[in-house]
Amino acid sequence: MPEGARHGWDGLTEPIVEHGSEGLDMARSRRLSRASLRRIGRRCLVVALVLAAIPVVLTFLYLPSFVHPVSTLMLKDLATFSGYDRRWVSIDDVAPVLAHSVIMSEDGQFCFHRGVDLGELRGVVDDALAGEATRGASTITMQTVKNLFLWSRPLGSVRKVVELPLAVYFDAVMSKRRIMEIYLNIAEWGPGIYGIEAAARHHFGVSAKQLSRRQAALLAVS
C-alpha cells in the first residue's frame, strides 16, 4: 500500500476506534444509571407501600374495644425515656358531658361527616386563596389518625395531605363511638399526660366519670 494511502487510512481508522470506544462507555454508563434509578424507584415504591399499609392494617387491629392503641407521641416519649401517664378507660366510664364538650369545641359536625368536614375544608381553601388567615379544619377523626399514625412537625402540609384520606378510611371502618373512645384515650392533655382519665386525675383529682360540666368544658378547650 502506498505510504500516503496508509497515512490516510490510519487517519480514518484511529479516530473511529477511539470515538467508538467512548460511545460504548457512555452508552454503558447511561444504561447503568437508568438501571440504578429503576432500582431506587422500586425500593422507594416498596417503602411507600409498606408505610401506606401500616395504618390500614392497624386500623383493623384497633377495632376491638379490648385493644388500647398508643399514639406516636407516646412512642416518642418511650423512645426518649421521658415516660408518660396514660390510663385507658372505656367510653362508658367517661362523663357524657365531656364527650359533648369536646365535640362542641373541636368538631361540631363529628356525628354527621365522614371523617373530613368538607364545609370547613372549603372555608380554609377560600381563606387561603383570598390571602386571609386560615382557621383550623381538623376533625376529631383527623386528629385521631394524626395521633395514631402520623407526626406533628415538621412538614405539616405534607402531613395534612396524608391525613385527609386516612381520616376518610378510618371513619369508614370505625364507629363514631370507637373513634371518640380512642381519641379521648390518646389525646395529650398536658406534657406527658395522655388520655382523659389521667387528665381528670391530674388536673382535678377525680376520675373521668366524675367530671363536672365546668371541668369538662375546661379540659375540652385546653
End-to-end CA gap in the chain: 99
pLDDT in tens, 20-51: 566 666 666 666 677 677 777 777 777 667 77
Q: Which fold has domain 68-220?
A: Penicillin binding protein transpeptidase fold (1.10.3810)
Q: How confident is the model at residue 17 (pLDDT cuts 50, 70, 90)?
A: very low
Q: What is the DSSP string of 59-90?
A: HHHT-STT-----HHHHHHHHTT---EE----
* Residue 88 · residue 185 · CB < 8 Å: yes
Residue 176, Cβ neighbours under 10 Å: how many?
Answer: 14
Residue spans per domain, the chain: 1-61, 68-220
Rounded distance between C-alpha atoms, residue 203 and residue 93, angstroms? 18
| DSSP letter, residue 175 | -
Predicted local confidence at residue 113, as pLDDT: 93
What average pLDDT does this structure show over 160-166? 89
What's the CA angle centered on 177, arms 175 and 179, to 5 degrees? Answer: 70
Compute CA 112 distance to the chain's CA centroid, rounded to the nearest angstrom.
23
pLDDT in tens, 90-109: 999 999 999 999 999 999 99
Q: Which of 7-21, 55-69, 110-124, 197-211 has the lowest mean pLDDT?
A: 7-21
User: How far, in Å, are 40, 93, 151, 156, 196 from residue 84 at the CA level?
Assistant: 39, 21, 18, 24, 13
CA dihedral for 146, 147, 150, 152, sign (positive or negative): positive
Rounded distance between C-alpha atoms, residue 72 and residue 188, angstroms? 11
Q: How confident is the model at residue 119 (pLDDT cuts 50, 70, 90)?
A: confident
Q: Is the pLDDT of residue 182 over 90?
A: yes
